[in-house]
Amino acid sequence: AKAAGRNTFAIFGNHMDELLRRRRKLEHDLRLALETRSQIEAFYQPVYSAEHKGLSSMEALARWKHPEEGLIAPDIFIPIAEEIGLIQEVGAIVLEDACGVMADLPSISMAINASALELCSDGYPLRVLSRLAKWNIDPKRLEIEITESLALGGEGHSDRNIAILRNAGVRIAIDDFGTGYSSFSRVQNLMIDRIKIDKSFIDAVQGESRPLIEAMINMARAKGLKTTAEGVETDEQSDALVALGCDSLQGFLISRPLARTAIIDLYNGSGKR
Ligand code: C2E
Ligand code: CA
Ligand code: CA
Ligand code: CA
């Protein structure tokens, strides 16, 4: 039994070493990718407007094209970028690319994701607004998605930063709404423009989640907030959400996230220009 125990420990130890090595390599590779401003790019997922019955906005989503490992998902590399203090660089690359797409498609609006660390940092609003100014893009066309925990936490400068951005016309959305620190009463006091209802609710919109989603949409309406459903995958979900009065739909049913050239072709072709 002792030998077996030692064996297990040795295997476990090797596994930890392996994980650590892989993690260090990813950190190293990410630094390099961000220094050279290569490999990191944005994909764009179309958002369907129920009111306009067409595509009117999109969300920029970061992608890492690793030369050896292929595409690495943001759920993997965003936390690493945060930990090694380089999330600002990721955000800057995505924003710059998104500004280029907005310049190419003058009638669409754009959503970007902000990490808690970015939104709390002192210079964030000015960095965003000066990028928009450089591209001559109306701040009203930009929406920044933040997570509920952050928006409600009041950490650092986030409240002040949100106020600066909103005063300039930038809109603020609560991402993954309903998960984590959700609380209807607290959301009512937030300086926000939209809630994005999390996919976990949308999955069950025809069943158990229906009354909850209905309550979220009614609450949003009463507060003058817009609603977007995330992760819409079926026609049945789409029909149910439109019937409940959801403003916008996003998900694989409408489109997966697309590369920059593909999204520009799609929006030009749809006559929305
Ligand atoms: P998110 O902001 O909640 O983005 C939605 C995620 O759901 C995206 O994953 C998208 O590809 C995926 N998705 C969209 N529709 C569907 C659907 O119908 N079914 C399914 N199964 N999935 C769907 P992605 O691109 O892997 O992004 C993951 C997360 O990484 C994002 O979640 C966001 O929190 C974060 N992220 C992405 N880009 C950035 C960025 O530029 N900055 C920061 N700070 N975070 C980012
Ligand atoms: Ca988002
Ligand atoms: Ca989300
Ligand atoms: Ca999410």
Residue (of 184, 187, 228, 229) closest to 206 by Cα position: 229
Q: Does residue 252's CB lie within 6 angstroms of at least one atom of ligand 1?
A: yes
Work out the number of other CB atoms within 10 angstroms of the CB of residue 121: 19
Side-chain-facing half-sphere of 255: CA atoms under 13 Å: 18
Query: What pLDDT is recorded for position 179?
Result: 85
Query: What pLDDT is recorded for position 271?
Result: 45
Work out the number of other CB atoms within 10 angstroms of the CB of residue 86: 18
Work out the number of other CB atoms within 10 angstroms of the CB of residue 17: 10
Q: Does residue 231's CB lie within 6 angstroms of at least one atom of ligand 1?
A: yes
Point out the ligand 1 atom lying closest to the alpha carbon of residue 74.
30
Beta strand 142-147 with 109-113: parallel, antiparallel or unpaired? parallel
The pTM of this model reads 0.93
Helix (H) or strand (E) holding 244, with range, is: helix 235-244
Q: Copy the structure tokens of residue 226.
A: 């817009």
59 and 45 in contact (C-beta within 8 Å)?
A: yes
Query: What pLDDT is recorded for position 273?
Result: 40
- Please list the pLDDT of the chain residue by residue as tens digits (273 residues): 455 566 666 666 778 888 899 999 999 999 999 999 999 999 999 999 999 999 999 999 999 999 999 999 999 999 999 999 999 999 999 999 999 999 999 999 999 999 988 998 999 999 999 999 999 999 999 999 998 765 555 556 788 999 999 999 999 999 999 886 655 666 666 789 999 999 999 999 999 999 999 999 999 999 999 999 999 999 999 999 999 999 999 999 999 999 999 999 999 985 444
**Looking at the CA of 61, which ligand is closest?**
1
Query: What pLDDT is recorded for position 113?
Result: 98
Q: Does residue 175's CB lie within 6 angstroms of at least one atom of ligand 1?
A: yes
SS3 171: strand
Point out the ligand 1 atom lying closest to the alpha carbon of residue 112.
41
Residue (of 62, 16, 59) closest to 39 by Cα position: 62
